[in-house]
Chain A
Amino acid sequence: EVQLVESGGGLVQPGGSLRLSCAASGFTFSGYAMHWVRQAPGKGLLWVSRVNNDATTTNYADSVKGRFTISRDNDKNTLYLQMSSLRAEDTAVYYCARGRGGAWYYDYWGQGILVTVSS
């Protein structure tokens, strides 16, 4: 059974940093691109970032470029999102998701982890 479990969320002050993790199991992690998608309270989905299967290529939304870094450890079956210079507008539930094909659709999602940026 495919499972994606996020951790590392919580309350952080504006300008602070946080690292999210997503532990994957039930599939060959190194064979898939992985993404982070976020959802602000009461709002829609917003794509954050993608890393390809061997971590040689990364992509970012303009809103997080230069502040967030996506990475993965295929030996540990874990995806990461290092977030820095956090702003109030980064407050959201962050989902990790398994990406598929050239269409970059998501067949599996984690349960999500809440990040709150507030003083």
Chain B
Amino acid sequence: QSALTQPPSASGSLGQSVTISCTGTSSDIGSYDYVSWYQQHPGQAPKLMIYEVNKRPPGVPDRFSGSKSGNTASLTMSGLQTDDEADYYCGSNIDNTVVFGGGTKLTVL
């Protein structure tokens, strides 16, 4: 069960945009629209931000968007706010297991 690959850190200025990548293989991300994204603030449970590559759950601002190209999925956050500073994890159903990326710590400058 190989992990998905995320950059350990990312940063962006208030009001600007930032994109976090999540790289898998042609057997997982490349083959299925199963990528989800979670936001986790310190000491809190993760929160679903994006599911099935680009769908937003109710209540998630449209500043958050997801996409996929080949074996890489991406989470883009526009109009960065201070509360966006958190850890972000991608996840995917791979062969009836769930594999997460290692997480990306987003810093809002």
A residues within 8 Å of B by Cβ? 35, 37, 44-47, 50, 59, 61-62, 95, 100-107, 109-112
Chain A residues lying within 8 Å of B98, measured Cβ to Cβ, are 35, 37, 47, 50, 104
| Interface of A: prevailing SS | strand
Contact of A105 among B40, B52, B103 (CB under 8 A): B52
Chain A residues lying within 8 Å of B102, measured Cβ to Cβ, are 44
In the assembly, what is the distance between CA of A45 and CA of B1, in Å?
Answer: 13
In the assembly, what is the distance between CA of A107 and CA of B56, in Å?
Answer: 11
User: How many A-B pairs fall under 8 Å by CB?
Assistant: 67
Of B19-27, B41-49, B75-83, the segment with at least 4 beta carbons within 8 Å of chain A is B41-49
Interface range on chain B (Cβ under 8 Å from partner): 20 to 34
B36 to A105, Cβ gap below 8 A?
A: yes
A45 to B47, Cβ gap below 8 A?
A: no
Q: Does B18 make an interface contact (CB < 8 A)?
A: no
Contact of B46 among A61, A100, A109 (CB under 8 A): A109
A95 — nearest CB in chain B belongs to which residue? Answer: B45
Give residues 7-53 of B contacting A (CB, 8 Å): 32-36, 38, 40, 45-48, 51-52
The 7 closest A-B pairs by CB, nearest first: A105-B36, A47-B98, A103-B34, A104-B93, A109-B45, A105-B51, A44-B103
State how many angstroms separate the Cβ of A46 from the closest Cβ of chain B: 7
In the assembly, what is the distance between CA of A35 and CA of B36, in Å?
Answer: 15
A106 to B46, Cβ gap below 8 A?
A: yes
